[in-house]
Amino acid sequence: MFNIWYLLLHSFNITVVALIILLMKRLFKDLLSARWQKGIWLVLFLRIIIPSSSHRSILVPTVGSYAEMLKFTVEEGRSSAYTPEFSLIRPHFTLPDTLVPVSITDYLYIAFFAGAAVFAAYYLISYIRLRLLIKNSPEVPDEVRREINLIAGKYNLYAPERIVTVKGLPSAFVCGFIKSVLVLPQEKETSEKIILHELLHLRHGDTFKSTLICILRCFNWFNPVMHYVFNVIGNDTEALCDLRTLEKLEGEERRDYGKLLLSMVNERYQTVPCTSSASNGGENIARRIDSIVKFKKYPKGMGVVSVCIVLFLVMPCLYGYGVELKNYNPASENEFNFAVASARSAKCTTMAGALDSFAKALSQKNGIMMILATHEDMHKEIITAMGNGADKELYYYETGKEFDSYSVTEGYKIYNLKKIDEKTYSAIIGFKFPETAEDMLCSLYNKKPDGYENYLFVPVIISYDNGWGVTESGERYTENEYDDGISQPNFGVYESKGDFGNFTLAYQNNFTVNNSHYADNASQMLGLSSYMYDPVPNADFETVWKLRSGVYTVYEDKKTDFYGKSMALQTRRFQTVEDYEKFMKAYEENEKKVKVFLAEYDFPPGSGGGSESWQGIDSTWKGSLSVNGGGGYSGSDIEREYKNWQPPAVEMAWVFCRNELIDEFTIFTQEEKQNDK
């Protein structure tokens, strides 16, 4: 449902576009033809039917933010029935809880429709009266009808079925666009040229356009600029019909047509829906005669210029500009209100941008950033909670004690981005605690010291609703980046039992967003980039890493059997079940040692990749072997990875002791039940 704020913003937008078009018409008045002068109004019509919102501003990028700030200021505490305090200025397709007006803005909204109804009633009554007059008017004589049919045939046009004469009529006109009627003056003979003019109106559907203009007048009754614009459009319609008429005429006939228009200068003109008439008022006819004088005198090559002008207008007038949020740390009340309005009006245009904004909002405890990163239904809660606490900044937003001592420059990573449906994804945001000696041990040995956890993980859902937004979807938890050789967190974990131990396989993908920028040209030349603290709502993913880790853990009662020996773990993956079945057929027929067969087998493209690790076993061995692998992507491959990535269909693992096979595992990653061997 619309409200008064939407109507005002939309009226402002179409008024700005109309004024720009009027300016263009003034600048190119003597250079472009009547076709262009009329056709350029298509830009305005498109602007009228394209919904407005505070998310995008026409020509002036800050209009949406100021409109949102004004709405919030006026509506605060009013409990308006038609305008929820925290709703954004955009079309809403739900009915309010009550239709009873409560606030001044509700009554203004009702007044708008009351004014539109008055205008609509006026036009409707005028049209009904005209139709009744036409209904009771006599048909033209047969010889006049034959003459009009000859005129229509001469110019490849068609005449309406009904042609009537009306007493006291100053000039001919056409009425109706479904069952059109040609109406002629009863007291005087109508010139062939005027009849041609009206038949051309009929041919090009100008009566329908007249009805559309009257409807638009009703909904813009309070806007004097638009009433003037609609008058100009009406005159441009007549000027274009004049041009089409002149194109049908030759020589002195064109001069005679101009004289006919001059004779109509003093005739009265009234706007009636669904009609068109060559007589549209003295001032308008004077402009049309000026256009007739310039007939076919426009400079060559102006067609290209006209196309360029239209293209120049399309982007700013139709699509507009997104809100650009620059101040995330407002110091004053006014700056804060504007920043909140801008954050609510701005949108994260990419999934990476939403995740970047959300992660920085958490780590910097910034409510402005959090508003930017979330959907509209979360804004009330965030705005209410902002600034709470002693000596806190206005934009302060509590995101948890976990971030009290967090170093922002440590950044974050996006783990296990997974598609749920076309507009919804799940992921885990990982925040790394400051670098310590323990971190170095974790990275070096792929294991964590007892009791040490170096990452905070935050599960989230990313969804699209007129922009990307993020919400937390589960409990936060802390964990080491590696847990007993398995990368954390996991995209999927699979386990299988063997004769001497268990095999655990895990997959992970992680994404990074480009958070580096150059402070100045000198820094860019030297390659000295710094961390970008502000969110980038239109950011793209910079890289994605696909990681795979497997761990073979020997049963506790079997560990001592391997002391003093060497062991190896080898894995191979199969992208499809068909690749696996083909491999197994050859594998079961093989008489060579497994290691030799694996080295010699010709794996199909996409399959056969894997990892291998070897270790000498002694009494200090903790009972496990691990393998890790993966690869990185950038550029256009990233989108493919997060939209379509699935684990390989099958993964196999072999465990060797002194080059002899002791355990074998087959894991079907798309099935819950695993095959143990």
Please state the rounded mean pLDDT for residues 253-282.
Answer: 71
Query: Does the pLDDT value for residue 326 go beyond 60?
Result: yes
Task: Give the range among 175-184, 290-299, 540-549, 621-630 with minimum mean pLDDT.
Answer: 290-299
Which range of 92-96, 273-277, 501-505 scores highest in mean pLDDT? It is: 501-505
pLDDT band at 14 (very low <50, low <70, confident <90, very high): very high
Alpha-carbon distance of 99 to 92, in angstroms, equals 15
Tell me what pLDDT residue 609 has. Answer: 80
Query: Does the pLDDT value for residue 673 go beyond 50?
Result: no
- Three state DSSP letters for 426-474: EEEEEEECCCCHHHHHHHHHCCCCCCCCCEEEEEEEEEECCCEEEEECC
Tell me what pLDDT residue 619 has. Answer: 87
pLDDT band at 96 (very low <50, low <70, confident <90, very high): low
Q: Is the dihedral of CA 226, 229, 231, 234 positive or negative?
A: negative
More confident position, 86 or 472: 472
Please state the rounded mean pLDDT for residues 274-290.
Answer: 67
Tell me what pLDDT residue 365 has. Answer: 94
DSSP class of 138: P
Inter-CA distances, 65 with 84, 323, 515, 645, Å: 17, 7, 26, 39
Closest CA to 232 of 284, 174, 271, 310: 284
Specify whether the CB–CB gap between 207 and 275 falls below 8 A. yes
pTM of the model: 0.78
Please state the rounded mean pLDDT for residues 101-117.
Answer: 93
Query: Does the pLDDT value for residue 441 go beyond 60?
Result: no
Please state the rounded mean pLDDT for residues 122-131.
Answer: 93
Count CB neighbours of 393 within 10 A. 16
Tell me what pLDDT residue 659 has. Answer: 87
Task: Give the range among 20-34, 190-204, 614-628 with minimum mean pLDDT.
Answer: 20-34
Please state the rounded mean pLDDT for residues 484-503.
Answer: 82
Count CB neighbours of 436 within 10 A. 11
Alpha-carbon distance of 43 to 198, in angstroms, equals 26
Query: Does the pLDDT value for residue 297 go beyond 60?
Result: no
More confident position, 507 or 32: 507
| Number of continuous H segments (helices) and E segments (strands) in the chain | 21, 24
Inter-CA distances, 651 with 485, 580, 643, Å: 18, 9, 22
Tell me what pLDDT residue 73 has. Answer: 87
Do β-strands 624-634 and 541-554 pair in parallel, antiparallel, or remain unpaired? antiparallel
Tell me what pLDDT residue 93 has. Answer: 65
Tell me what pLDDT residue 351 has. Answer: 93
More confident position, 543 or 375: 375
pLDDT band at 382 (very low <50, low <70, confident <90, very high): very high
Domain ranges of the chain: 328-335+345-483, 496-506+543-676
Tell me what pLDDT residue 450 has. Answer: 44
pLDDT tens-place string over residues 161-217 = 999 999 888 888 999 888 899 999 988 888 999 999 999 999 999 999 999 999 999
CATH architecture of the domain with residue range 328-335+345-483: Roll (3.10)
pLDDT band at 637 (very low <50, low <70, confident <90, very high): low
- Residue 548, strand partner residues: 507, 629
More confident position, 626 or 264: 626
